Structure 1
Amino acid sequence: MIDAALVLAALVDVRVNVSPDYEQGMACALLAALVLPLRRHLPLAAFLLTIPSALFTDAVFAPLAALYTLSSLDHRRSLLALCGLLYAVSDFLPWRWWELRADSFAADDLGIAPVAYSVAWATAPVFLGQLVQARRELSLRLAEISEAREHERLLTAQSVLSSERAQLAREMHDVVAHQVSLIAVQAGALQVGTRDEETRQAAATIRRLSVQTLEELRHMVSVLRAAGSRPTELTPQPSLADLRRLVDTSGIEAELRADLPGTLPPPVQRAVYRTVQEALTNVRKHAPGATATIGLRREGGTVRVTVTNTAPTRPALPLPGAHHGLIGLRQRAELLGGTVTTGPTADGGYELRLELPTDAGRQ
């Protein structure tokens, strides 16, 4: 609808400002009006095709619309200045300038006012297009900031939850499980040492219940140590099979090089997924325009994950944050007996490296 409205307005401009007897000018003006639908896909070509209308006729609506669209889409300031100058010169030259002699120019035609008028008409769509472009980019960056802050808030909550669960798992393993083990040992000794049948049966029952309690405690400890990535275990947890979708939807150009078996323990798979997720989030936040490479491989009994990004191509906005992302990754890795190391690369990029034992979570 916008394209149709612009073409219609340009045709009205042609009808008002171009004489039907002037065939060459009418052809140039009609061409300028009809190429306006191409301005978003081929902005520079569309603008150049509208210039003859400003050069040979007084129909300038199409060149101004094409110049505005070019300014709102292109970041090259020198090109925009050159295009604005080209339009100003085309608009300033008198109509049918090739038929005029040097002594036929009126004094008013060469004064400051006509020049200023042409320059103003040329700079207005350029400045307006740049303003629209800046507003659009600012909206995108604000959306990125909101998304990053929400993601960081979730990671902070997950990190706190993981720490609390790890502390609870240690307490259960070091205190409760130890005391229940002593109860089982004492009940077994009583079962063997007593001669009273009723006492022996009671001791056997206590020992059996103690062993069952120990099994339940071990299961709960393993669940607590493996959890922390989500507030609840009711939803499916991510695994290595979900990495491809994570990389494809990360919003950055990333290459995944994976050579890991799908039989790794679920806690290890979740730790790998969360590490890659956090690393890609940091690339998007702190290295705009950078590309990333994700490498996953197994060497003996160790899983090695590296996420490397190139140097950013544009400056990053200073985003607010609590800096808990890498801390949470290190805590998760330590709970599984692994390590997380980070640091800059020689080419100005950044690298995150995760190492985990392949049997983590099976203890």
Structure 2
Amino acid sequence: MRLSWWEGKRWVVAFDILVAAGLTVLPFLEDKGPAVKWTSVLVSLVVFGGFVVRRRFPLVAVAVTPVGLAFPSLQIMIAAYTVASRKGLRWQALASAVYCSVVVVVWPVPRRDAYSWPEALASCVLFVGAPMMLGLWVYQRRALLQALRDRADQAERERDLRAERVVVAERRRIAREMHDVVAHRVSAIALQSGALTMTAPDEHTEQVAEVIRRSSTAALTELREILQVLRDEQPGEPSHVAPALSAVPVLVDDARATGLDVQLELPDPVPEPAPAAGRAAYRVVQEALTNAAKHAPGQPVSVVITADADELVVEVTNPREATRRAGEAPSGGSLGLVVVDEKRGRAADGGVPGSGYGLVGMRERVSLAGGQLEAGWVEDRFRIRAVLPMKVAE
């Protein structure tokens, strides 16, 4: 026997055992009950076993009703209800109704007068018909509830499928837009910078053009894999190594090659945080250096990375600009600094527009890695400070 026979509930098992024990012991508690013999004990065990497994084998409970040691009215009512509630309006229920009716009418019990037809009919209706009607109602109600649950589950699955199709269509639309716009522009940058590398008039221009070419080529590689993720439901493994904390020195060297004054302090040896924390730290430094190059060209930038057993701290700071138009507030919401070019009489911000989502993206990355990000002015320096866990939280 398995617990699933009783709907997986222990209290149902206990209830059936109590009912079977009561039906078995009740005849012996009467004043003129049967004498306790091995035959009566055997009959009681048969009735007990039949009613314990009545939910799984309702016909067994029906079959053992005639062997009761007293008039089996209560056994017949329970057996008729069980068959109807478990099998519904099928041949098992009809056969059980006939069988139980015969037992009620002809069961050998000492009595002075035989049943009259009205009494027999009333007994059949009371002990067989009423329990079966109640069992059929319970069966239909259970079937209706199951149908409603199946319909709700089907509606939920269809809704999920529709939502998935909408998401896939939107992802492919975004992939097309990124390919048609971003990939084309970055490819043009890579080609022009490569040509400039070959025809540069001096070594410094050649170095800057080479940095631009490498950066745009790397951007094209990552963009191609992003497009693959957006288009394919099961993309393969990325062909490039995911950025990590160990790649920060290379990132700083590329920034220095563009003319940015960057000071890097990194533990030796370089710590190995959780992959998510390492990627988040790399992206924080990358975004902070990009903002500094756009909004504060010529200003020194300090990148300090410290780590202990529990936390990885990334701190990027730069001072306020030395020259600013009178009454002009810092531009932008990130490293919002504007340096005035005295010769050209305009802000030397490089003409690079910001997306406005730099800090938002950094906060999201750090939050997904389980850390916290702080950004704002501290005295005369703008500071971005990210605190990341060294290990993945259990």
Structure 2 length as normaliser, TM-score? 0.46
Larger radius of gyration: 2
